[in-house]
């Protein structure tokens, strides 16, 4: 049993306890049993090759960071709604190499107010953006995309580094 298995078991048990709304030793034991059973079936029937190059320990703080980012952008969007705003479509090149992290980025950019994911073609992502009419382009959407991408790049493993770990 590795560190990853222990981490996932504890995380799933924590979710079980939240859903059951009670902290007791039988509930914890049942939660751990169910977590291990779920992990067994997931490992047996699901293919996880596409997430092998993701360091989930470095990704652990990402949801909290994203929630803070969403609220910060929401305040900016209130300002944009009350002032002169424009909308348009922008395409950007992604620096992320991992397909799973690219999907997380696309979902995250849609969650942040001010931009909506439209399409991803290879390394390019197309966004529907809102921005200040007095500024050229959509710098706020670009900043959002860049900051989310920087957070996700931290959890991306190199192919060579992964080979050294095995």
Condensed to tens digits (0 to 9), the pLDDT of residues 35-69 reads: 999 888 888 887 777 777 788 788 888 999 999 99
Q: What is the DSSP letter of 158?
A: P
Q: How many domains does the chain have?
A: 2
Q: What is the pTM of this model?
A: 0.67
What is the residue-wise DSSP string for 91-122? EEE-----HHHHHHHHHHHHHSTTEEEEEEET
Q: Is the pLDDT of residue 32 over 90?
A: yes
Do 69 and 147 fall within a single domain?
Answer: yes
Q: Are 144 and 112 in contact (CB under 8 A)?
A: yes
Residues 125-149: tens digit of each pLDDT? 999 998 888 888 888 888 889 999 9
Task: With cut-offs at 50, 70 and 90, classify the pLDDT of residue 163.
Answer: very low
Structural domain for 9, as ranges: 3-46
Task: Answer yes or no: is 10 within a domain.
Answer: yes
Task: Answer yes or no: is 56 within a domain.
Answer: no
For 146, phi and psi rounded to 5 degrees? -65, -45
CB neighbours of residue 58 within 10 Å: 15
**34: number of CA atoms within 13 Å, CB side?**
15
Do 42 and 112 fall within a single domain?
Answer: no
Do 155 and 87 fall within a single domain?
Answer: yes
Task: With cut-offs at 50, 70 and 90, classify the pLDDT of residue 1.
Answer: low
Q: Is the pLDDT of residue 30 over 90?
A: yes
Q: Are 149 and 93 in contact (CB under 8 A)?
A: no
């Amino acid at each position: 049993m590795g560190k990853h298995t222990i981490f996932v078991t504890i995380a799933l048990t924590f979710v079980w306890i939240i859903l059951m709304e009670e902290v007791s030793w039988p509930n914890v034991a049942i939660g751990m049993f169910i977590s291990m059973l779920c992990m067994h079936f997931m490992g047996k029937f699901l293919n996880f090759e596409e997430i092998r190059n993701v360091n989930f320990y470095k990704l652990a703080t990402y949801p909290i960071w994203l929630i803070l980012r969403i609220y910060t952008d929401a305040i900016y969007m209130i300002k944009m709604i009350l002032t002169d705003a424009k909308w348009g479509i922008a395409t950007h090149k992604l620096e992320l190499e991992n397909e799973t992290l690219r999907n997380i980025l696309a979902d995250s950019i849609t969650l942040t107010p001010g931009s909506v994911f439209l399409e991803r073609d290879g390394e390019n992502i197309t966004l529907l953006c809102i921005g200040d009419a007095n500024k050229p382009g959509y710098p706020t959407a670009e900043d959002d995309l860049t900051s989310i991408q920087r957070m996700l790049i931290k959890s991306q493993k190199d192919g060579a580094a992964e080979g050294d770990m095995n």
